[in-house]
Structure 1
């Protein structure tokens, strides 16, 4: 085979492989609404809580962070995956992870974000660069956001690391699927007399055991 034929063959192989490089395997199990488990998560100053909505299509992932409830802030990212640099305009000054640090985003600037699927679709990694204003002026911040799905696909762990936060505790938020693993309680009367509420109380306690057969619900 001639040198020219070798070159042509190698070029065709490279062109064939290029569409798959860096794309990774997406995972539809990420899709849906996720609600925060506060006791397993980092404290959220002003907003107190965080909800995630995730949706995917063939080449993009949409992530909506909703900070707070009645007083809320929403941050929507529609990102092309596979390592492409997404240019996301900044339209609001709010820096939601900690609004009391005296730091603010810069409207009119750009957030540069890459999104890649890793670990056979069990991890989504975002790498982000953006300018932020603090007491010392404007600085360029780099951060990494990871969204990891548990092996049973019922828990999502979101972690944030920043170039400016090397020694502080990690920022971690743990979520469950919205509408799952809900718990309820029933307040019993303080009446345990045989001629009083004891039969009813005993019935309710027995009922609790049945309800919780496959997991804590009551």
Structure 2
């Protein structure tokens, strides 16, 4: 079964078979040709991590909905992707019979991915943000593939500007007291992620 089919199966299990058209639209969005990292593979990987961290969430289905929507609208040079994705969730989910309370939570979670700074007591936010950042703890080949995909999404940006911007992003992450907010996420990902970030930053700033 290919990734698109797996994601549709997961969406149908979450939202119901009657929501298939909405799921097909979401999967199509993650397959847009300009994407190199924010793809169906990224979404599938996030859902797998959410499964692993499910016990840390207060409403794991809200977190799963948020994963499906968090990059549903994605344009490289726009700063409002998360907001537009949240608005999409607020438009689509009520028509599928999702409760107003859960729709509001999903939209809140999607907006949270713009900065990955959940409150320490925000169990759902912690799980979603940990799942979104879990790639930072990948093994050497996985991390290299991730950084190559990010660079490919910004292929139109000159190398010097990209290196400067990427270094600023990495420094912002490194300066956070904790990259991962759930106990499981911290134990599983924190050390490896910090090592990867430090190595990438050193390579970017090496003159």
Relative contact order higher in (CA < 8 Å, ≥ 6 apart): 2
User: TM-score normalised to the size of structure 2?
Assistant: 0.25
- Structure of higher CA gyration radius: 1
Which protein is richer in helix relative to its size? Answer: 2
Compare the two structures and name the one with the higher strand fraction.
1
